[in-house]
Amino acid sequence: MSPEQEVAKRRTFAIISHPDAGKTTITEKVLLHGALIQKAGTVKGKKSGQHAKSDWMEMEKERGISVTTSVMQFPYADCLVNLLDTPGHEDFSEDTYRTLTAVDSCLMVIDAAKGVEARTIKLMEVTRLRDTPIITFMNKLDRDVRDPIELMDEVEEVLNIACAPITWPIGMGKSFKGVYNLLEDTVILYSTGQGSVIQEERHIEGIDNPDLDAAIGDYAAELRDEIELVRGASHDFDLDLFLAGELTPVYWGTALGNFGVDHMLEGLTQWAPAPQSRATDVRTVEAADTRFTGFVFKIQANMDPNHRDRVAFMRIVSGRYEKGMKMRHVRLGKDVRIADAVTFVAGDRAQVEDAWAGDIIGLHNHGTIQIGDTFTAGEALKFTGIPNFAPELFKRIRLKDPLKTKQLQKGLVQLAEEGAVQVFRPLRNNDLIVGAVGALQFDVVVHRLRTEYKVEALYESINVATARWVMADSERELEKFRDKAYDNLALDGANNLTYIAPTMVNLQLAIERHPEVRFLAIREN
Ligand code: G4P
């Protein structure tokens, strides 16, 4: 297969959803439909994942399991699909956000009984940084859900994206009959209780087909009326608008009942973009470029109790990785030979022989790789647009033994470089403030400080609502602001000036008082 073909057949996506909408169940079914059929059901289950928050072994077990699903690759139709896991429940973190900047499309899963929920709104905001194309799956149609038209209206209004229904549900809950495909004019009937196998689907061609009346009775007439209404009131699918992130194709079904997930996969493989080009400080790198390039978007530690190491996840942007190849670690200006990149195929670490643009590979990392690092075939360029996100939770961290300040700082800076948390040092005192996007990260940091840096630390609550990186057009203006807002300013792990706001109102006032300063919730490496 030519390099162009290798790239063209790849689809790299992630799932965005609110906890409990069905991401895990959909992932299982996606794998069931992919080649990993025998593995379906082994994805992190909620029951096995429940853990006492302070119990690290359990936590690690949880992480160990969920890491096997960090990247899942499977063939579907003529494509090779990469599904990147987006940590969701307790393990929600900045990684979740950053992973979304390493994919070419996203699947948005909505619990159709609940509609658009908070986490989904937040994650959609992140996808907007790159105008990532979004495919929507309305889940749990086997339950009594909300009115489908109302649900689509809510998506359009709250998430500001046009909806183009590709399928349309017939009934719901106990009377869920299946879906009608508006593009193909076909009804696909639902049969219950077949969740763990791929069931035969019964198709009826044409909405006016009398077979439909025989199959679903009165629902047939209702469906005909409703579809007329839906066709009139909703958007037609438009590939360009989809690729621009302005319109989402919408599918309906039940992940638990394994119905509709394959319809969605058809859409994904047919329409979602192949690996996209990416900007660097020098030039735009095209996916079809034969020279190897990639960037690191996530670093994970203690992934497997048997391998106490860290793995850096790299998205290949162009070219081909081959086992044993030499890469330039651009930030360090050093060439490294990579003989043992890994991928994670449902439970086992597997060695990659080769990988192409759009694929994710894991590099063993002994502390020399940071989030945002670029690797090339020798060229000196750096990928831009790999963001840090302002934390949403803050705690002051304190040492039990004050003599170990140096170790604590070193540990925190390194953990911050991995992207697990961020650390801020206020200008006006010697506090150390840890900021995170997900609460579990606080526990992880204390545990790792203890085991890896031999430091006993504990947290105290602190009155911080949010943080913003600050920038101005000139050094002079920033200096002036630094003097005026001294009490609220801190330096982050990479010495960037940051405004620490005790309340959102305080932040708002600061923004109003200092129009010459930009307050950024997102900072690019
Ligand atoms: P998440 O990863 O997005 O958090 O969601 P997950 O797949 O774990 O699903 C959350 C709950 O919703 C699970 O139930 C799951 O079985 C259920 N669920 C997922 N898809 C469907 C669906 O299409 N229909 C119905 N009725 N339920 C669905 P749970 O009771 O919390 O967990 P479990 O005991 O089933 O593991």
Beta carbon of 22 within 6 Å of any ligand 1 atom: yes
- Rounded to 5°, the CA angle 248-170-213 comes to 135
- Return the pLDDT at 307: 52
Contacts 24+ apart (CB under 8 A), 480-487: 481/514, 481/516, 481/517, 482/427, 484/514, 485/510, 485/514, 486/427, 486/428, 487/428
Nearest to 296 by CA among 314, 319, 309: 314
pLDDT at residue 309, rounded to an integer: 67
* pTM (predicted TM-score): 0.90
Residue 174 CB contacts under 8 Å (≥ 6 apart), including other chains: none
Same domain, 139 and 227: yes
Query: Of 348, 376, 404, at which residue does a domain stop?
Result: 376
Same domain assignment for residues 231 and 359: no
User: In this predicted structure, what is the pLDDT of residue 303?
Assistant: 52
| Contact status, residue 277 vs residue 285, Cβ threshold 8 Å | yes
pLDDT score at 176: 95
pLDDT of residue 323: 87
Q: Determine the pLDDT at residue 344.
A: 58
Q: Which residue has the tokens 């694929």?
A: 359
The whole domain housing 291 covers: 278-376
My answer on whether 329 and 403 are in the same domain is: no
Ligand 1 neighbourhood includes 20 CB (under 6 angstroms): yes
State how beta strands 325-329 and 334-338 pair. antiparallel
* pLDDT given for residue 41 in this prediction: 37
Answer yes or no: is the C-beta of 66 below 6 A from any ligand 1 atom.
Answer: no
Which of the listed residues 256, 261, 262, 264 should we mutate to test ligand 1's pocket, taking the one with most ligand atoms within 8 A of CB?
256
Domain boundary among 207, 242, 271: 271
Task: Give a yes or no: residue 417 inside a domain.
Answer: yes
Q: Is 70 domain-assigned?
A: no
Q: From the CA of 97, how far away is ligand 1's center (Å)?
A: 23
Q: List, run by run, the mean pLDDT of 10-residue segments along the chain (525 residues).
A: 92 96 91 59 39 33 47 87 86 89 97 97 95 98 97 98 98 95 96 69 94 95 96 96 98 94 96 97 96 94 59 94 93 91 59 85 86 96 93 94 88 85 94 92 90 92 96 94 96 93 97 96 87
Q: Is residue 88 part of a domain?
A: no
- Split into its structural domains, the chain has a count of 3
218 and 320 fall within a common domain:
no
Q: Is the CB of 47 under 6 A from ligand 1?
A: yes
ipTM higher than the 0.90 cut: yes
Q: Which residues define the annotated binding site for GTP?
A: 17-24, 85-89, 139-142
Identify whether 353 is part of a domain: yes
Q: What is the pLDDT of residues 166-206, one digit of tens each?
A: 999 999 999 999 999 999 999 999 987 666 667 778 999 99
Distance 246 CA to ligand 1 centre (A): 29
Q: Which two tokens stand for residue 191?
A: 């049969």
Q: How far apart are CA 397 and CA 356, in angstroms?
A: 42
**CA distances from residue 376 to 153, 279, 340, 366, 373 in whole angstroms, order as listed:** 45, 14, 17, 19, 10
Q: Residue 63 has which token pair? A: 């992480």
- pLDDT score recorded for residue 509: 97
What pLDDT does 88 receive? 79
Q: Tokens 């608008």 map to which residue?
A: 241
Q: What is the CATH number of the domain that holds 33?
A: 3.40.50.300
Please tell me the distance from the alpha carbon of residue 152 to that of residue 163, in angstroms, as a whole number. 6
**Substitution site in 16, 25, 28, 65 for ligand 1 pocket (most atoms within 8 Å of beta carbon):** 25
244 and 371 co-located in one domain:
no
Statement to judge: residues 136 and 250 lie in one domain: yes
> Quick one: pLDDT at residue 467?
97
Residues 138 and 226 in one domain: yes
Distance CA 511, CA 514 (A): 5
Strands (E), 309-384: 310-318, 320-322, 325-329, 334-338, 342-345, 348-351, 354-356, 360-365, 374-376
Distance 124 CA to ligand 1 centre (A): 21
Nearest to 180 by CA among 212, 139, 149, 146: 212
**Residue from 17, 26, 27, 46 to probe ligand 1 pocket by mutation (most atoms less than 8 Å from CB):** 46
Domain end point (choices 223, 248, 271) = 271
Q: How many Å apart are CA 394 and CA 462, to the nearest integer?
A: 7
> If you measure from the C-alpha of residue 171 to the centroid of ligand 1, how many angstroms do you get, rounded to a whole number?
20
Cα separation, 499 vs 478, in Å, equals 12
